[in-house]
């Protein structure tokens, strides 16, 4: 048993409610494991800051239905309580069809399931889909700031739309007054739906955001004070007598991770305020395959770590710290030199931008970057967002030609030049709309792409990367 926190739409306060629950549980010295539906990186950072445990993403597009179930079983059994934060509205997902993998052996959805899904054909990878996969009850968060009696229609609709979803209760968010609360309770009473929490309008609890969502935890100096305020709120706003039994995590039979083998190679992983978008499962896989991860900062360090045979630049916000990255010329030069000498390097999204000649920020200012790729990253207002089906156009650092991978794009930059030999031809995941070619694989030891990949169901990707890193180690090239 565990709970899923879902919203009736985006922006209703799912993350605030989730963090409030987590903060209050941790104040009670409870061991709690959190999960996040979808491809998001930033919400899991907040979860981990509160719980002290890495949050795990549950995304059947990036991985598979079976992987979602295995991941939840593996990590929920290691804690007393488990909590899943949903994505967007409860039934907001993507369209599934056999032509695009859903229902095939990759996803494990059979004919009967596809027929049942006909009542909501676009809820694959939605919070509701995860609730069905894991057989978990849902707590529905409703933004009550601009409604009173209509709350019953909303709750009734979500309660009855899919009979396979068990709505355990609701959390009423942004309640304005005692009178407002009375109207809401009176309206909900005929539904016999438990009110598991009431959050009043809060002026002193605000998580700042910017062009790609919330500001990451590493940049928030007052974060601990904010978490304390959330814990205070959580102590009083929830019906803990009803919630705690629902949150209780029951051990499930699942083999533990094997112990890490002796380190075969050292991988420099850029992790600081500019680069911090990593799926924990990807890092775990590297370690399980024999990699020692050496975390470092392109912002603060004077050079790349010594005695490494590979580099990994995740996504993040290099555009926000472009000036500081540009001024750290010793690191830029060291990165370029290492790559040109053959250092295998993965660079996703923000990492791709860092390998360009320049980043041109929102104000039009140009900042020199590593200069490995003969193109520049230009910030703009247009958001590129969505799941991608990507087919490799050639053998590259991570995959062989014609291999299909599934990833996610989320950025407001574009490149001034496209590679003459791009990595992928990409399409939208849920339809045949071609999104063009993208990614850089020259030099051949580089995999630089806007497409974020989760390796949970693609163990051959980290294996191939480490294979190339081992070639560096065996050649005696300790850069």
Residue 123 CA neighbour count, 13 Å, CB half: 22
How far is CA 162 from each of CA 61, 86, 191, rounded to the nearest angstrom?
21, 16, 16
Sign (positive or negative) of CA dihedral 56, 58, 63, 65: positive
Please say whether the beta carbons of 451 and 419 come within 8 A: no
**Partners of residue 142 on adjacent β-strands:** 172
3-state secondary structure 438-459: ECECCCCCEEEECCEECCCCCC
With H, G, I as helix, E, B as strand and everything else as coil, classify residue 251.
Answer: coil
What is the distance in angstroms between the CA of the first residue and the CA of the last residue of the chain?
Answer: 49
Q: Are 68 and 125 in contact (CB under 8 A)?
A: no
Signed CA dihedral, 130, 133, 134, 137: sign only: positive
> Residue 146, exposed/middle/buried by CB under 10 A (0-12, 13-18, 19+)?
exposed
3-state secondary structure labels for all residues of 340-388: HCCCCEEEECHHHHHHEEEEECCCCCEEECCCCEEEEEEEEEEEEEEEE
**Would you call 349 a catalytic residue per the annotation?**
yes
Which listed residue (55, 349, 356, 469) is catalytic?
A: 349
DSSP 173: E
- Return d(Cα 25, Cα 219) in angstroms, integer: 24
Do β-strands 424-428 and 404-415 pair in parallel, antiparallel, or remain unpaired?
unpaired
For residue 433, give both structure tokens. 């709309």
Q: Tell me the DSSP string of 35-73.
A: EEESS-SHHHHHHHHHHSS--EEE-TTTS-HHHHHHHHH
Instruction: Compute the radius of gyration of the chain from its Cα atoms.
Output: 23
Report cis status (omega within 30 of 0) of the bond before 443. yes
User: What are residue 309's phi and psi, to 5 degrees?
Assistant: -120, 10
CA–CA separation, 478 and 471 (whole Å): 11
In angstroms, the CA 368 to CA 291 distance is: 31
- Residues with catalytic roles: 349
């Amino acid at each position: 048993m565990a709970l899923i926190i879902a919203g009736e739409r985006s922006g209703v306060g799912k993350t605030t409610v989730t963090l409030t629950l987590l903060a209050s549980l941790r104040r009670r010295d409870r061991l709690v494991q959190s999960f996040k539906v979808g491809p998001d990186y930033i919400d899991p950072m907040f979860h981990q800051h509160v719980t002290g445990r890495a949050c795990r993403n549950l995304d059947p597009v990036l991985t598979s239905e079976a992987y979602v179930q295995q991941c939840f079983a593996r990590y929920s059994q290691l804690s007393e309580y488990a909590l899943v934060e949903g994505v967007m509205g409860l039934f907001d997902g993507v369209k599934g069809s056999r032509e695009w993998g859903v229902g095939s052996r990759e996803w494990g959805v059979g004919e009967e399931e596809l027929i049942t899904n006909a009542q909501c054909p676009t809820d694959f990878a939605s919070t509701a889909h995860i609730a069905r996969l894991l057989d978990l009850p849902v707590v529905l968060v409703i933004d009550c700031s601009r409604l009173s009696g209509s709350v019953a229609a909303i709750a009734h609709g979500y309660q009855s739309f899919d009979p396979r979803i068990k709505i355990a209760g609701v959390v009423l968010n942004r309640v304005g007054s005692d009178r407002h609360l009375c109207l809401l309770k009176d309206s909900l009473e005929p539904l016999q739906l438990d009110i598991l929490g009431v959050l009043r309008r809060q002026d002193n609890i605000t998580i700042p955001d910017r062009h790609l969502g919330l500001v990451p935890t590493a940049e928030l100096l007052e974060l601990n004070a904010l978490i304390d305020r959330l814990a205070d709120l959580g102590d009083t706003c929830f019906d803990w007598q009803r919630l705690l039994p629902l949150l209780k995590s029951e051990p499930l039979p699942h083999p533990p991770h094997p112990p890490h083998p002796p380190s075969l190679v050292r991988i420099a992983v850029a992790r600081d305020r500019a680069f911090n978008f990593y799926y924990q499962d990807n890092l775990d896989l590297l370690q399980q395959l024999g990699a020692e991860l050496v975390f470092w900062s392109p912002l603060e360090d004077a050079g790349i770590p010594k005695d490494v045979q590979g580099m990994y630049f995740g996504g993040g916000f290099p555009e926000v710290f472009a000036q500081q990255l540009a001024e750290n010329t010793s690191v830029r030069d060291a990165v370029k030199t290492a790559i040109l000498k053959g250092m295998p390097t993965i660079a996703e999204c923000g990492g791709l931008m860092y390998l360009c000649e320049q980043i041109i920020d929102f104000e039009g200012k140009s900042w020199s970057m590593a200069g490995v790729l003969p193109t520049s990253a230009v910030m703009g207002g247009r958001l590129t967002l969505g799941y991608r089906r990507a087919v490799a156009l050639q053998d590259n650092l991570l995959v062989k030609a014609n291999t299909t991978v599934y990833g996610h794009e989320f950025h407001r930059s574009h490149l001034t030049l496209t590679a003459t030999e791009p990595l992928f031809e990409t399409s939208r995941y849920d339809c045949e709309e071609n999104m063009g070619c993208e990614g850089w694989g020259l030099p051949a030891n580089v995999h630089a792409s806007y497409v974020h990949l989760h390796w949970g169901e693609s163990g051959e990707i980290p294996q191939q990367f480490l294979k190339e890193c081992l070639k560096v180690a065996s050649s005696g090239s300790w850069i």
